[in-house]
Structure 1
Amino acid sequence: MSKHVIITGTSRGIGFELVKQFSEKGYQVLALSRNAKPILDLKLLNVTAFPFDLSKKADFHKVETFVKNEWGHVDILINNAGALLNKPFSETTLEDFEFVYKTNVFGVAEMTRVILPFMKTQSHVLTISSMGGVQGSMKFPGLAAYSSSKGAVITLTELWAEEYKETGICFNVLALGAVQTEMLEEAFPGFEVPMTPKSMANYIFDFSTTGQKYYNGKLLQVSNSTP
């Protein structure tokens, strides 16, 4: 039986690299992003892509219908999409917080809720968080909305693992350090780090396909910087 993976935030960066890796390994991939063109342009036979917005209720129905009609089951869900806002807290409005949380928390929760009925024992829900969301980690000014939202999905993951422990479905979260993505460049122009999207995607691919054998409800910090 073919293996099925859903990846959000696939138009660029880590998500884009993950789609290519899963495709090369023979997985059936559903690549979801507001901009589907970069993936569609790859013309990969085992990859389906259509425009999807984590903040739009109707888009979740599209995903649910696709999985029900085309696949029937999902082996791996990678909640990778994220919105990053760098703004002084004094200027961060209620609307700014709503925008970030709609994607990073509410969208992740709804995607997971919609897909869980299609998952079985040893399926893996992997959510991508940030070192900024880890309690006690180094914090950066300007990231109040972003980092707090990334902290929320760490707690969500722990809660899911407890609530679904009888099902054998596993839930884990990776808190990534800085990766040289377009999103990082937009939020912090000129800031450069050695970690590339491709090398981080290698790690995430390996963990998403094997991590559920060893971990459930766990946060792993994926960062080579100190602290």
Structure 2
Amino acid sequence: MSQSKNIIITGTSRGIGFELVHLFANQGHNVLALSRNAQPVSNLHFDNITSFSFDLCEEEDYKKVEQFIQNEWKHVDVLINNAGLLLNKPFSETTFKDFTKVYETNVFGVSEMTRVVIPFMKNNSHVVTVSSMGGIQGSMKFPGLAAYSSSKGAVITLSELLAEEYKDTGPQFNVLALGAVQTEMLKEAFPDYQAPTTAKEMAEYIHEFSLKGNKYYNGKVLQVSNSTP
């Protein structure tokens, strides 16, 4: 195996994030697994997985990440912004607080985490942000997802801007806009919907892409969906 890399993943307590942690750890990479609930990951005895409780909406928590990188790793090869908050609610019932909460996790959390980690990244490091097909202009839209899908559109534009701003020094920034994946988050929002892709299958794709995709892409959004539109 080539040299082991230092990888940070957010939203690791379940679903795609949980699967990603183990794909990387099994390959011998060092993983910092961040989620509000650190329990599920820390139960697994890998000495190359570090996990602590982390809330994207708490400014203090970012200092913990910064200190960890400084003390333990010195540099970061891959950041996967995977944490997401999905709200399914008719727009007329959506409050200012609802919108704020979704944007705090899905947009501000991505920008702040990225800003904190960039100083530790090398010119060929890779920031991968997990978005959604709902955030793609012209894609099929679903009622009830005004806050969620618009927030997922915001991080696509954000990543394009960062790729431009850091094009001379690195790292590279790319977005994966996922189609429906069978996760607990999806089930909570759409109990009757059966997605065509499992969390593990999607994690395998994201895992590969985050290690190699920045050789071929920068400032791009890839639509990872096996259905049209």
- Scaled to the shorter chain, the TM-score interval is over 0.9
Cα RMSD between the aligned structures?
Answer: 0.7
The amino acid that maps onto 1:215 is: Y
Query: How far apart are the structure 2 equivalents of 1:61 and 1:212?
Result: 27
Query: How far apart are the structure 1 equivalents of 2:123 and 2:59?
Result: 28
Map of 2:210 onto structure 1: 208
Work out which of the residue numbers 118, 123, 127 in structure 1 matches 2:125.
123
Per-residue CA distance 1:119-170 (angstroms, 9 max, x = gap): 0111000000000000000000000000000000000000000000111310
Matched, 1:21 2:18: no
Structure 1 residue 194: Cα displacement = 2.0
The amino acid that maps onto 2:144 is: G
Map of 1:32 onto structure 2: 34
Query: How far apart are the structure 1 equivalents of 2:126 and 2:151?
Result: 21
Work out which of the residue numbers 99, 102, 114 in structure 2 matches 1:100.
102
Per-residue CA distance 1:14-37 (angstroms, 9 max, x = gap): 000000000011100000000011
Structure 1 residue 80: Cα displacement = 0.1
The amino acid that maps onto 2:76 is: V
Aligned-partner SS, 1:120: strand
- Describe how 1:47-58 pairs up with structure 2 within 5 A: 47-58=49-60
Query: How far apart are the structure 1 equivalents of 2:108 and 2:194?
Result: 30
Report the count of equivalent residues: 227
Map of 1:43 onto structure 2: 45
Query: How far apart are the structure 2 equivalents of 1:83 and 1:213?
Result: 30
Aligned-partner SS, 1:48: strand
Query: How far apart are the structure 2 equivalents of 1:99 and 1:151?
Result: 16
Map of 2:134 onto structure 1: 132
The amino acid that maps onto 1:18 is: L
Query: How far apart are the structure 1 equivalents of 2:170 and 2:65?
Result: 23
- Describe how 1:52-91 pairs up with structure 2 within 5 A: 52-91=54-93
Map of 1:175 onto structure 2: 177
Aligned-partner SS, 1:82: coil
Moved more, 14-23 or 161-170: 161-170
Unaligned runs of 5+ in 1: none
Query: How far apart are the structure 2 equivalents of 1:193 and 1:26?
Result: 31
Structure 1 residue 3: Cα displacement = 1.1
Runs of 4+ aligned structure 1 residues displaced above 2 Å come to none
Structure 1 residue 43: Cα displacement = 1.4
Map of 1:10 onto structure 2: 12
The amino acid that maps onto 1:167 is: T
Give TM-score scaled by structure 2 length.
0.98
Per-residue CA distance 1:30-67 (angstroms, 9 max, x = gap): 00000011101111110000000000000001100100
Map of 1:219 onto structure 2: 221
Matched, 1:159 2:179: no
Aligned-partner SS, 1:138: coil
The amino acid that maps onto 1:17 is: E
Structure 1 residue 110: Cα displacement = 0.1
Taking only the aligned residue pairs, the percentage that are identical comes to 71
